Structure 1
Amino acid sequence: MKHRSFLVVLFSVIVFLVSPQLYANQEEASQQIITKQVQPSALTYLKKMQQAYKELNYELLYLNTAQNQIEPKQLIHGVLDGQRIAYFCYLNGGIRESLQFDGKISYYQQGNQAYSLVTNRDHSVFANIANFNFESGNKNYEYLILGKSRIAGKRSIAIRMTSKDMYRYSYIIWLDLGSYLPLRLETINKSNLILEQTMVVSLNVTESINPWIKRMSDQKAPDVLHLPQTTVKDVAPWELTWLPPGFKIIKDDQHKLMLHDTDPISYIMINDGIVSVSVYISTKKSTLTQQQNIIQRGGTLLYTKQQENIEVNVIGEIPLLTAEKIAASIKAAK
């Protein structure tokens, strides 16, 4: 009997000594599970960025850097009666600015007549990334959180969009953890070299729209510039037999160049949701064969190739390999 009582007491003492550590381990494990559950994914951050970019009132001062050339620019964005309005300008040199609102974009340039174009395409900085369908885009890009840092005095988080193939560039996006607005975007190649960078140096988010661009929206926009009709056929007589994964043909026609009495130029545009690539096909002007020319500024490539009886120009933010394969895939339409 005494032996049994001794064992009961001993067991109670052991439980008393072990329980705090056991509970502590359980609590720590539970906290780790909770932390893991509430930690947003890269895709969640990117969706928050898209929403903030379209719905907030903000002002950005930023720098575009490509091949050691730095261009300071400004963007003022607001939402007026449910419609987005964006003012954009270059801060160096002659005055160059634009205002996009109500289905038009108006251009103002020092020494030239102001004009407007009808468009619903977003022309503001970060627009391609901010309007990308990230959910369907995960077929071609992988999203990964790299870590946190500080950009323009703001706590930020870096997310990498890694291309799953060799036919497009990858990107690193820094988002403000307060507003979720984009603060920095880098275009990088397969060697992880930065080809182009856009970096915000000042961000100001406001409750109400900037009164200055509100007044601009009340002013009469410059007359819409009606470009001469140059299309001569609905479809180009050439076709692309190869497209990079995820790209689709969004335009395919044949037209003459404005103000030039030349043979029609075939034009095909492809797009993957971020990048647009233009392909121009014309009758070869040179008697030399298999000539090619490569011009690159930042991430934008101009690739020209003369093959057989045609000249091909491929323009877009794509690697050289992609441009070469696109040009080589051109065949006469059946």
Structure 2
Amino acid sequence: MKHRLFLVACMSLLSLLASSQLIASPEVAQPEVKIETKQALPSALTYLNNMKQAYRELNYKLLYLNTAQNQIEPKQLIHGVVDGKSIAYFYFLNGAMRESLQFDGKISFYQQGSQAYSLATNRDQSVFANIANFDFENGNKSYEYIILGRDRIAGKKAIAIRMISKDQYRYSYIVWLDLESYLPLRLDIINQLNQILEQTMVVSLNITETVNPWIQQLSVQATPDVLHLPLTAIAAVPKWHLEWLPPSFKIVKDDQHKLMMHDTDPVSYIMLNDGIVRVSVYISTKQTKLTEQKNTIRRGGTLIYTKQDENVEINVIGEIPLITAEKIAASIKPSK
């Protein structure tokens, strides 16, 4: 009897389980799996273009140190925008007073013990200007842009970008940008041996919504008269020409004028530029005999190279390697 009851119970249980399988159970909603993707970081080119815009449009004050060959010079730059035009005040903090003001197509120089004067120019000559005004899109023919990483400069979070020269005729650079404003905070000039030739580093940065009241006032004050350098034979065919230019360099000026140290004969002057580096070439009648030990003078990234050939003296000045200066000087030939 017990055995029969056990069999009935088992059959009833099996029947119940089977019937439960016929009842459609609602599907349990599966949680949506979200795959988190890292947001793409800006490219080195994007950072550099942001720097270019910030440097031109923001109102700021920089205190910075320029270091070359163990010599350190503290300087100050105040930049603003007045009526849509950039104005920059530049000041040496040590030694005799030296300051300059660039605004509205001219730059005025003031130095203790000397007569103040102005020069007509639209070229920005303030700190970081060469890098900050460079055409980075076209510049990739000469430089490769690489993000190195992050650091901290002047109490600001910064990102380091290396501009690697694609040839041996120019230097490379590392520029650090403030990650908040994109203003440049440090610039190193690097040679082929990866050595720092010159460094400019900000120690204090102050950004304001409005232009500094002091340089706002300077923008409406009278400045010294523009100094016009004496030019000769401008319309004539240049006396000299270059048979070789470093890649991406162009001749931006070619004339003859007199300098104070050459009162008798005019000096032929040729200026080259690749957008960052400006190279000046002076060709004149030989003035003094040059010893081999004195034909090259370097301060930081700037080189002064002198070559004498018979009665001609050639001086090449710029932030370039020695091989570049030598090839430029060797390529100078009389114009036909």
Whether the 8 Å CA contact 2:134–2:276 is kept in 1: the answer is yes
| Identity percentage of aligned residues | 73
Distance in 2 (CA, whole Å) between partners of 1:120 and 1:315 is: 21
Cα separation, 2, equivalents of 1:85 and 1:255: 30
- 1:110 matched to 2:112? The reply is yes
Could you tell me how far apart the structure 2 residues matched to 1:227 and 1:314 are? 20
Q: Which position in structure 1 is the counterpart of 2:144?
A: 142
CA, structure 1 residues 278+288, in 2 after alignment: closer, same or farther (shift >3 Å)?
Answer: closer
CA contact (8 A) 1:267 1:278 kept: yes
Code of the residue aligned with 2:160 in structure 1: it is A
1:180 aligned partner: 182
Aligned to 2:315: 313
Match of 2:267 in 1: 265
CA drift at 1:235: 3.7
SS at match of 1:263: strand
Per the alignment, residue 12 of structure 1 pairs with none
The answer on whether the counterparts of 1:174 and 1:184 sit within 8 Å (CA) in structure 2 is yes
Looking at structure 1, the residues matched to 275 and 290 of structure 2 have their Cα atoms a distance apart, in angstroms, of 37
Equivalence for 2:239 = 237
Return the alpha-carbon distance in structure 2 between the equivalents of residues 248 and 104 of structure 1: 23
CA distance in 2, matches of 1:229, 1:329: 25
How do 1:118-197 and structure 2 match up within 5 A?
118-197=120-199
Q: In the TM superposition, what is the alpha-carbon distance from 1:259 to its structure 2 partner?
A: 6.8
Query: Is the 8 Å Cα contact of residues 85 and 101 (structure 1) preserved in structure 2?
Result: yes
* 1:110, distance to aligned residue in structure 2 (A): 1.7
Q: CA deviation at 1:120?
A: 1.3
Which letter maps to 2:46?
Answer: T
1:64 to 66, 80, 100: 66
- Measured in 2, the distance between the counterparts of 1:84 and 1:287 equals 45
* CA apart distance, 1:85: 0.9
Partner of 1:75: 77
Task: Return the match for 1:280 from 261, 270, 282.
Answer: 282
- Residue 286 of structure 1, CA deviation: 5.8
Cα distance, 1:292–1:234 mapped onto 2, change above 3 Å? farther
Gapped runs of 5+ residues in structure 2? 1-20, 22-27
Deviations 1:52-106 (A, max 9, x none): 0000000000000000000000000011111111111000112111111122212
Cα deviation for residue 290 of structure 1 reads 8.4
- Correspondence for 1:4: none
Q: Any idea what SS the aligned residue of 2:259 has?
A: coil
SS in 2 for 1:218: coil
Coordinate RMSD, CA, aligned: 2.6
Task: State the SS of the aligned residue for 1:47.
Answer: helix
Tell me, what secondary structure is at the counterpart of 1:53? helix
The residue aligned with 2:217 is: 215
Aligned length: 313
CA contact (8 A) 2:230 2:258 kept: no
Read off the aligned partner of 2:221 and give its amino acid letter. Q
Cα offset for 1:172?
Answer: 0.2
Partner of 1:51: 53
Give the deviation of 1:126 after TM superposition.
0.5
Equivalent residues of 1:290, 1:307 under 8 A apart: no
1:197 and 1:210 map into 2 onto residues whose CA distance is 27
- Which of 252, 255, 261 is the matching residue for 2:254? 252
Gaps of 5+ in 1: 1-8, 10-15
- Could you state the TM-score of these two structures normalised by the residue count of structure 2? 0.86
Cα distance, 1:285 vs structure 2: 4.3
Q: 1:42 to 1:234 in 2, by over 3 A?
A: farther
Question: 1:295-306 counterparts in 2 under 5 A?
Answer: 295-306=297-308
SS in structure 2 of the partner of residue 139 of structure 1: coil
- 2:3 is matched with none
Check 1:207–1:254 CA distance in 2 against 1; reply closer, same or farther (3 A cut): same
> Could you tell me how far apart the structure 2 residues matched to 1:120 and 1:328 are?
31
Does residue 90 of structure 2 align to residue 84 of structure 1? no
Q: Secondary structure at the match of 2:94?
A: coil
Q: As a proportion of its length, which structure holds more helix?
A: 1
Please say if residues 96 and 108 of structure 1, whose CA atoms lie closer than 8 Å, have aligned partners that are also in contact: yes
Displacement of 1:230: 4.3
> Which whole-Å CA distance do the structure 2 matches of 1:280 and 1:228 have between them?
15
